[in-house]
Amino acid sequence: MSYRNIRVAEAIKREISDLLLREIKDSRIKNNFVSVTNVEVTNDLRHAKLYFSIIGNRNSKEEVIKGLESAKGFIRTKIGERINLRFVPDIQIKLDESLEKGAKLISLIDSLRTNK
């Protein structure tokens, strides 16, 4: 990944984080703890994968993903307004479960320590 791709991915991540805090009004998103964990862009900057971490149960995660999917057009429009790019990237929404997997792993390690 080139330096430009990294800069664009970080700019997109920053803007989406700001959108989640200030401008997206969807109750499915606002009523849950949602954060952007990573953004990956392709070499031609035409596609971006947005990884979100969502705290909650399976049903709330599904509702947040539906809310984010419905807000994709709004997100793309705002990215186009805020970041100077020739093409606004097509967005894919992905659930990032690495934090939960890490927490499970830590609890397993802790349980092994206590069983000794």
* Structure confidence at residue 116 (pLDDT): 63
CATH topology of domain 3-114: GMP Synthetase; Chain A, domain 3 (3.30.300)
Please provide the size of the chain in residues: 116
* Burial readout 32-43 (b: 16 or more C-beta within 10 A, e: otherwise): eebebbebebee
Count of alpha carbons within 13 angstroms of residue 27, beta-carbon side: 0
Residue 52: closest CA among 42, 106, 66: 66
Q: What is the pLDDT of residues 84-109, one digit of tens each?
A: 999 999 999 999 888 778 878 888 88
What's the pTM? 0.83
Sorted by where each begins, the domain ranges of the chain are 3-114
Q: What is the pLDDT of residues 5-63, one digit of tens each?
A: 999 999 999 999 999 999 998 888 888 889 999 999 999 999 999 999 988 888 988 99
